[in-house]
Amino acid sequence: MAAESSLRDRFERGLDAPICLTWELTWACNLACVHCLSSSGRRDPDELTTAEAAALIDAFASLQVFYVNVGGGEPTIRGDFFELLEHAVAKKVGVKFSTNGTRLDAARARRIASMDYVDVQISIDGADAPTNDAVRGRGSFDAAVRAMRALADAGMQGFKVSVRSAEPRAVPLAHRPPGHLDGRLVLPSLRARSAARRAEPLRRRPRRLPRRPDRRRLCVPLRDP
């Protein structure tokens, strides 16, 4: 009974650290998706160095953070990305990173598949190249599919595929990827700065929901095959 009471007391006090957190490792990106919420593209001149990023991972480990969602930008653009990934794994801090897949070749896929505590999410924005590339840029769909196949060939079957749709229904993929499909509904907002300007009236009317944008104007609609 005393042990049960002690456990309840610990839960009531709350956690000492987050179970998971999100880390935008870099703002640098080799794509220019129209719905990017971080206005990624150029690297921030004040971006953490390798040593600073590794020290932050050490802090996560000491706090017993369970895992970190790493995004950007495109995190694999950093030359030290795999060094930091391996450092996190060595410290038993799990990593789930989102990528556009353009930099995941066979060798890098094998390197990722050999690690514990690592999960990968590849993002696409449509069921085929014309739909996706209208949002992410020419060739991005084929690059993402190549990355999926590289991961699958390396033996990593549990990776995720995030499909963003501007229509409130499931996205039918013409070629079902080998990973786990994660379909989500989003409202494309173009770049974050313009979205922030459009949201300015909310400061005067904080209790009213914003009017939905014209989704068909902002994103190529998906069509059933």
Spatial distance between the Cα atoms of 3 and 10, rounded to a whole number of angstroms = 11
For the chain, what percent of residues have pLDDT higher than 70? 68
Ramachandran assignment for 166, one of left (phi > 0), alpha (psi -120 to 50 degrees), beta (any other): alpha
Report domain extents, the chain.
Answer: 15-43+53-189
**Architecture of domain 15-43+53-189 in CATH?**
Alpha-Beta Barrel (3.20)
Please check the confidence at residue 169 and state whether its pLDDT lies above 60: no
Tell me the pTM: 0.69
Residue from 100, 209, 223 nearest 167 by CA: 223
Please check the confidence at residue 99 and state whether its pLDDT lies above 90: yes
Residue 36: both structure tokens together: 């990017």
Spatial distance between the Cα atoms of 222 and 167, rounded to a whole number of angstroms = 7
- How do residues 12-32 score in pLDDT, each as one tens digit? 777 777 888 999 999 999 998
**Interval 130-142 mean pLDDT:** 92
Spatial distance between the Cα atoms of 80 and 71, rounded to a whole number of angstroms = 14
50 vs 16: which has the higher pLDDT: 50
Reported as a pLDDT band with limits 50, 70 and 90, residue 201 is very low
